[in-house]
C-alpha cells in the first residue's frame, strides 16, 4: 500500500475509534435531556470501555472458539470498514478497495460474526436474537447495494470515494430526485444495520423484544468491550457516510495535514448533528413490531429502486 493510501486509512481508523464512543455519548445525552434527565455525560461510553477492558471475560460452559473469535472478527471488520468508507477524505486511491461491493462484504462479515456469537452460547434469547438479526440483514444488504448503486450511475463508478467526491464537486446531485431517494433509503437501512429505533431498541431490557442485545447477553469483560466498540464504530462510520452524502463539504480532496484536519473537523460536526437528530427522533418514536419491520425495509428497497430508475432516466 502506498504512503498516501496508508496515511488516509490510518487517519480514518483513528478518527473513527476516537469519535465512535462520543457519537453514542451525544446520542444518549441528547435523549436524556429531552426526557428531562441529567444524563451520564458524553464521555460515559469511554469510561464504560475502560472499565470493561480491565475485566476478564466470563464465558458460558460449552462454548466453542466462536465465542473467543467472534468479538475480534466483529471489531476487525468494523476497523476495516472505517478504513474503506470515505469519512475524513474522499481521495480515490488505487490500492484501497473502497468499492461498494467490498464495503458491503465487510459489513456482512461482521453481521455473520455477531450472529454466530449469539448462537454459540446455546441460550434461547441468543438464538432468537441471531435469527431476527439475520432476517433483517437479508433485507438490509440488497437495499444498501441498490441505493449506493443509484448514486454511482451518474459517476460511472461504484467506488465510494468517487461518489462522495462527485457530490462534493457537483452539489446539484445532492438535491436531485435520485440522490434524495437513495440517501433516504440508505438512512433507513443504516438504522436497521446498527440496531436503532424503530427497528431495534438499544436501551431495552425486555428480552422478548431484543435483537442486538439478545446476541450479546452472554458477553462480559473484554469480549463485551470489543463488541460494544465494534457496534459503535459501525454506527459512526455509516452515519459519517450518510453525512458526507448529504453534506459533502469539508471532505478532504488530497492527503495532507491541512485537508485531513479540515475533514476531521467537518466529520465531527456532521456526526454531532446526525447523532443529535437521531436521538431527537428516537424520543418520539416507538419500536416497530417484528412483523412490521420487513414492510419498512421493503419500502426502503422500493425507494432505492426508484432512485436507480430516476438515475437511468436522467443519464
Mind listing the pLDDT tens digit for each residue in 270-285? 999 999 999 999 998 8
Q: pLDDT digit string (tens) for 156-197?
A: 988 999 999 999 998 888 999 999 999 999 999 999 999 999
Yes or no: say if 167 and 149 are a contact pair by the CB < 8 Å rule. Answer: no
pLDDT above 70: residue 1: no
Q: pLDDT digit string (tens) for 110-119?
A: 999 999 999 9
Burial class (CB in 10 A: 0-12, 13-18, 19+), 286: exposed
- Tell me the three state secondary structure of residue 291: helix
- CA 60 vs CA 90, 123, 145, 218, 225: distances in Å: 44, 10, 37, 7, 17
Yes or no: say if 195 and 232 are a contact pair by the CB < 8 Å rule. Answer: no
Closest CA relative to residue 237, chosen from 13, 45, 31, 6? 13
pTM for this model (two decimals): 0.96
pLDDT above 80: residue 26: yes
Yes or no: say if 214 and 129 are a contact pair by the CB < 8 Å rule. Answer: yes
Instruction: Collect contacts of 53-56 with beta carbons under 8 A, ≥24 apart.
Output: 53/222, 53/225, 55/220, 55/221, 55/222, 56/221, 56/222
Look up cell 432505492; give the residue.
Answer: 304
Q: pLDDT digit string (tens) for 69-118?
A: 999 999 999 999 999 999 999 987 665 567 888 999 999 999 999 999 99
Amino acid at each position: 500500500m502506498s504512503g498516501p493510501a496508508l496515511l488516509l486509512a490510518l487517519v480514518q481508523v483513528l478518527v473513527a475509534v476516537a469519535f465512535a464512543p462520543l457519537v453514542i455519548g451525544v446520542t444518549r445525552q441528547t435523549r436524556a435531556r429531552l426526557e428531562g434527565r441529567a444524563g451520564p455525560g458524553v464521555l460515559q461510553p469511554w469510561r464504560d470501555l475502560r472499565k470493561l477492558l480491565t475485566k476478564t471475560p466470563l464465558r458460558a460452559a460449552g462454548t466453542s472458539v466462536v465465542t473467543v473469535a467472534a468479538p475480534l472478527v466483529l471489531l476487525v471488520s468494523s476497523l476495516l470498514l472505517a478504513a474503506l468508507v470515505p469519512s475524513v477524505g474522499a481521495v480515490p486511491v488505487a490500492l484501497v478497495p473502497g468499492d461498494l461491493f467490498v464495503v458491503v462484504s465487510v459489513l456482512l462479515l461482521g453481521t455473520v460474526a455477531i450472529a454466530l456469537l449469539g448462537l454459540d452460547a446455546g441460550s434461547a434469547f441468543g438464538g432468537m436474537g441471531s435469527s431476527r438479526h439475520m432476517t433483517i440483514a437479508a433485507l438490509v444488504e440488497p437495499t444498501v447495494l441498490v441505493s449506493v448503486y443509484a448514486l454511482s450511475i451518474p459517476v460511472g463508478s461504484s467506488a465510494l470515494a468517487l461518489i462522495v467526491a462527485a457530490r462534493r464537486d457537483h452539489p446539484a446531485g445532492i438535491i436531485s430526485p435520485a440522490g434524495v431517494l437513495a440517501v433516504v433509503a440508505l438512512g433507513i437501512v443504516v438504522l436497521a444495520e446498527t440496531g436503532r429505533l424503530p427497528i431495534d431498541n438499544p436501551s431495552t431490557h425486555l428480552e422478548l423484544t431484543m435483537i442486538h442485545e439478545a446476541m450479546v447477553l452472554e458477553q462480559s469483560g473484554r469480549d463485551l468491550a470489543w463488541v460494544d466498540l465494534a457496534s459503535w464504530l459501525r454506527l459512526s462510520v455509516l452515519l459519517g457516510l450518510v453525512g458526507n452524502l448529504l453534506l459533502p463539504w469539508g471532505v478532504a480532496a488530497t492527503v495532507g495535514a491541512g485537508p485531513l484536519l479540515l475533514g476531521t473537523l467537518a466529520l465531527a460536526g456532521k456526526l454531532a448533528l446526525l447523532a443529535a437528530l437521531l436521538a431527537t427522533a428516537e424520543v418520539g418514536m416507538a419500536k416497530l413490531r417484528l412483523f412490521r419491520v420487513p414492510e419498512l425495509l421493503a419500502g426502503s428497497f422500493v425507494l432505492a429502486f426508484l432512485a436507480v430508475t430516476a438515475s437511468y432516466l436522467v443519464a
